[in-house]
């Protein structure tokens, strides 16, 4: 994955916030979701020729038509504007922040400076320019930067083409803005929220507002798109694991089709593969989704003990370990309890038409594993490869029925 261009010298991965394609904020090796929501996530495939070259290195001529994937949070300008407004940020607050920022900088520039006469004159000149500037002047300057694709790393290449002193101040490399800010531009405001408000004043109304975490995904710094990646697949990851186990079973079946001992072992293995799917799926959903974790704890007898208020945080710190232990000790071959657990916690239903046959198969598997292939009455359990194949079809149909419901629920946005 190509490193972000204007910070290519940095090790690690960057997340970028852009409005109308123009970068206003970056974070290294992590990202703040900011005013974006889980439901805003999209996975977008495009040609390398369509890269935003204010963020990414331009594609080489030979790779222009190669595809690459972006992992983005995307909203329109009006949506972000509304979210900012609800949080108390608008044109009025931008104006207030701008005036305060300019006033502080003018005061700093007008302080006596005796060490360098030429620099003292420059400071006085800059103070005068700032006093005479308005928010409208700075927004016009910002629009020039956006329209012409001027970023800080490009300024040295093009500064001779511009005479606007505000533009030179915005991209000054001499630490012109010595006040800390929460955005990556030289625009005179402090908060990222106000910077966004300023951008929304001058970009097209429906401009895309994007949090791009592609570099973090590629660098392994976050798995926050794992559910949406899985959602766009035909099945979940744990179904793929189950399917691989079934494929291995079918391969072994072909090695000795008439071997009844092997058939019994493979028959049992199919049930084991199903139980593993059910256990792993439950564990992942409970441990990675807060609302599911809450439902699991609230509906499980293991967690009905009373605790005093002083022990709440200690209990919370060790809760995941207790959850794992509780799931690991469950008997997922007890189909009635497992079906009830899936309904109560994951709102997932087992196929009623298959239940009786699977229960019968589980009992047969129990005889094979725990009674050396005999029933309680001492009768030998006869299993042929045809029985294994029928069981595979039954179990695969059941697991697919469950997996579809799990996959359909992956994008439930419990945060909103």
Q: Output the pTM of the full model.
A: 0.70
Q: Name the more confident of 190 and 305.
A: 190
132 in the same domain as 94: yes
Evaluate whether residue 253 is within a structural domain.
Answer: yes
Evaluate whether residue 213 is within a structural domain.
Answer: yes
Evaluate whether residue 335 is within a structural domain.
Answer: yes
172 in the same domain as 262: no
**pLDDT average, residue stretch 327-343:** 90
What CA–CA distance (Å, rounded) separates 128 from 209? 35
Contacts of 182 by beta carbon, 8 Å cutoff, 6+ apart: 25, 190, 191, 192, 195
Evaluate whether residue 415 is within a structural domain.
Answer: no
Could you read off the pLDDT of 101-115 as tens digits, one per residue? 999 989 988 887 666
Question: What is the per-residue pLDDT for 302?
Answer: 77
Question: What is the per-residue pLDDT for 26?
Answer: 94
Evaluate whether residue 324 is within a structural domain.
Answer: yes
Q: Is the pLDDT of residue 147 over 70?
A: yes
Evaluate whether residue 176 is within a structural domain.
Answer: yes
Evaluate whether residue 133 is within a structural domain.
Answer: yes
Q: Which domain holds residue 70?
A: 1-224
Among the three residues 224, 240, 263, which one is the final residue of a domain in this structure? 224
Q: What percent of the chain has pLDDT over 90?
A: 62
Among the three residues 207, 224, 241, which one is the final residue of a domain in this structure? 224
Nearest to 244 by CA among 268, 270, 278: 270
Count structural domains, the chain. Answer: 2
273 in the same domain as 202: no
What CA–CA distance (Å, rounded) separates 315 from 322? 9
Question: What is the per-residue pLDDT for 54?
Answer: 92
What CA–CA distance (Å, rounded) separates 141 from 178? 20
158 in the same domain as 108: yes
23 in the same domain as 139: yes
403 in the same domain as 304: yes
Phi, psi of 72 (to 5 degrees): -135, 150
212 in the same domain as 275: no
Nearest to 214 by CA among 59, 80, 16, 47: 16
Given pLDDT bands bounded at 50, 70 and 90, which one contains residue 328?
Answer: confident
282 in the same domain as 260: yes
205 in the same domain as 275: no
Among the three residues 196, 224, 252, which one is the final residue of a domain in this structure? 224
Nearest to 264 by CA among 376, 397, 375, 394: 375
100 in the same domain as 1: yes
């Amino acid at each position: 994955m190509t490193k972000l261009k204007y910070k290519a010298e940095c090790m690690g991965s960057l997340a970028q916030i852009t409005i109308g394609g123009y970068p206003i904020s970056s974070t290294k090796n992590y990202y703040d979701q900011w005013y974006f929501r889980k439901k805003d996530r999209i996975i977008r495939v495009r040609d390398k020729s369509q890269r935003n070259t204010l963020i990414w290195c331009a594609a080489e001529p030979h790779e222009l038509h190669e595809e690459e994937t972006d992992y983005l949070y995307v909203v329109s300008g009006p949506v972000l504007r509304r979210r900012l407004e609800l949080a108390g940020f608008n044109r009025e607050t931008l104006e207030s922040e701008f005036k305060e920022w300019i006033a502080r900088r003018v005061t700093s520039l007008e302080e006596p400076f005796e060490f360098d006469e030429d620099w003292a004159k420059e400071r006085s000149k800059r103070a005068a320019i700032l006093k005479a500037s308005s928010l409208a002047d700075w927004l016009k300057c910002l629009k020039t930067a956006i329209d012409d694709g001027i970023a800080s790393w490009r300024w040295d290449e093009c500064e001779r083409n511009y005479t606007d002193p505000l533009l030179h101040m915005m991209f000054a490399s001499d630490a012109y803005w010595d006040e800390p800010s929460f955005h990556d531009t030289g625009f005179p405001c402090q908060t990222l929220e106000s910077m966004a408000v300023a951008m929304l004043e001058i970009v097209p109304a429906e401009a895309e507002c994007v949090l791009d975490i592609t570099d973090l995904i590629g660098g392994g710094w976050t798995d926050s798109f794992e559910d949406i990646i899985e959602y766009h697949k035909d099945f979940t990851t744990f179904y793929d694991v189950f399917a691989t186990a079934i494929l291995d079973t079918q391969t072994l079946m072909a090695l000795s089709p008439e071997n009844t001992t092997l058939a019994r072992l493979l028959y049992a293995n199919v049930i084991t593969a199903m139980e593993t799917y059910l256990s792993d799926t439950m564990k992942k959903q409970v441990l990675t989704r807060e609302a599911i974790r809450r439902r699991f704890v609230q509906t499980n007898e293991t967690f009905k003990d009373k605790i005093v208020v002083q022990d709440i945080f200690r209990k919370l710190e060790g809760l995941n370990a207790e959850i794992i232990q509780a799931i690991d000790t469950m008997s997922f071959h007890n189909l009635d309890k497992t079906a009830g657990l899936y309904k109560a916690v994951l709102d997932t239903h087992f196929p009623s038409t298959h239940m009786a046959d699977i229960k019968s198969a589980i009992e047969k598997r129990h005889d094979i594993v725990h009674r050396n292939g005999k029933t309680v009455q001492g009768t030998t359990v006869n299993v042929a490869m045809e029985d294994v194949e029928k069981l595979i079809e039954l179990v695969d149909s059941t697991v697919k029925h469950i997996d579809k419901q799990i996959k359909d629920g992956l994008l439930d946005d419990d945060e909103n």
